[in-house]
């Protein structure tokens, strides 16, 4: 077994583990949205029928939406659920398409990286300043911002993983064969 094959198989194993994490988080976020729909429906019915309602609903809904929207980004990227403009892809050769895909992943990673970096700066600033929300419940503001920062950090991780996958799957089999290796499983 050549070092190139060992590296490729190790990277594939790590990618499978990361993909399971992304899928788990994607399903958790979907479940959050489903439960949020039931919660909002109850709040609307409770308002009309004068039943007991939960205080601080707007803030809680915002926190759930922030988590559901950002933590599912990595899953949707890895499962090819992101929207992309496909009308030119049939006219591209495999090399041009690979360059276009890699450039798009780089752009997503760059956007996510800048956003995550600024969010983490904001989290640290709010934590050090003891900033809380101005409505009930008085939540320390760094908590929901940290949730968003984690989501964008996961997006950067998944974009980087996809870019490395493209490079490794193209280069390492060639290196493996050049080192005298056989077929790759």
Rounded to 5 degrees, φ, ψ at 73 are -60, -45
Confidence of residue 134 (pLDDT cuts 50, 70, 90): confident
* Alpha-carbon distance values, 54 to 1, 42, 156 (Å): 61, 10, 36
Lowest mean pLDDT among 54-58, 68-72, 82-86: 82-86
Q: Which domain holds residue 28?
A: 3-178
Question: Please, is 48 exposed, middle or buried when counting C-beta atoms within 10 Å of its C-beta (0-12, 13-18, 19+)?
Answer: exposed
Contact 105, 162 (CB under 8 A): yes
Per the domain annotation, does 183 fall within a domain? no
Give the C-alpha separation, 54 to 66, whole Å.
Answer: 19
Per the domain annotation, does 20 fall within a domain? yes
Mean pLDDT, range 57-64, rounded to an integer: 87
**Cβ neighbours of residue 117 under 8 Å, at least 6 residues apart?**
none
- Reduced to 3 states (helix: H, G, I; strand: E, B; else coil), residue 147 is helix
| Residue 58: both structure tokens together | 């707007």
Q: What is the pLDDT of residues 111-129, one digit of tens each?
A: 999 999 999 999 999 999 9
Confidence of residue 91 (pLDDT cuts 50, 70, 90): confident
Give the C-alpha separation, 27 to 120, whole Å.
Answer: 25
Per the domain annotation, does 139 fall within a domain? yes
Evaluate if residue 80 carries a pLDDT over 90.
Answer: no
Per the domain annotation, does 184 fall within a domain? no
Give the C-alpha separation, 141 to 149, whole Å.
Answer: 12
Mean pLDDT, range 74-80, rounded to an integer: 88
Per the domain annotation, does 103 fall within a domain? yes
Q: Return mean pLDDT, the chain.
A: 90
Give the C-alpha separation, 153 to 114, whole Å.
Answer: 10
Overall number of domains in the chain: 1
Mean pLDDT, range 54-73, rounded to an integer: 88
Per the domain annotation, does 108 fall within a domain? yes
**Cβ neighbours of residue 23 under 8 Å, at least 6 residues apart?**
75, 78, 79
| Residue 32: both structure tokens together | 């959050």
Lowest mean pLDDT among 51-65, 81-95, 170-184: 81-95
Per the domain annotation, does 185 fall within a domain? no
């Amino acid at each position: 077994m050549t070092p190139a094959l060992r590296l490729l198989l190790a990277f594939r194993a790590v990618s499978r583990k990361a993909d399971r994490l992304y899928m788990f988080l994607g399903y958790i976020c979907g479940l959050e949205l489903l439960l949020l729909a039931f919660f909002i429906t109850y709040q609307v019915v409770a308002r009309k029928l004068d039943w007991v309602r939960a205080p601080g609903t707007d803030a809680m809904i915002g926190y759930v939406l922030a988590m559901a929207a950002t933590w599912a980004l990595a899953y949707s990227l890895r499962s090819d659920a992101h929207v992309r403009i496909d009308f030119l892809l049939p006219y591209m050769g495999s090399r041009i398409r690979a360059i276009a895909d890699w450039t798009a992943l780089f752009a997503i990673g760059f956007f996510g990286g800048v956003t995550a970096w600024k969010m983490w700066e904001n989290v640290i600033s709010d934590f050090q300043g003891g900033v809380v929300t101005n409505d009930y419940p008085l939540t320390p503001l760094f908590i929901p911002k940290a949730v968003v920062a984690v989501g964008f950090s996961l997006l950067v991780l998944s974009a980087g993983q996809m870019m490395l996958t493209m490079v490794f799957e193209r280069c390492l089999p060639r290196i493996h064969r050049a080192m005298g290796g056989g077929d790759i499983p």
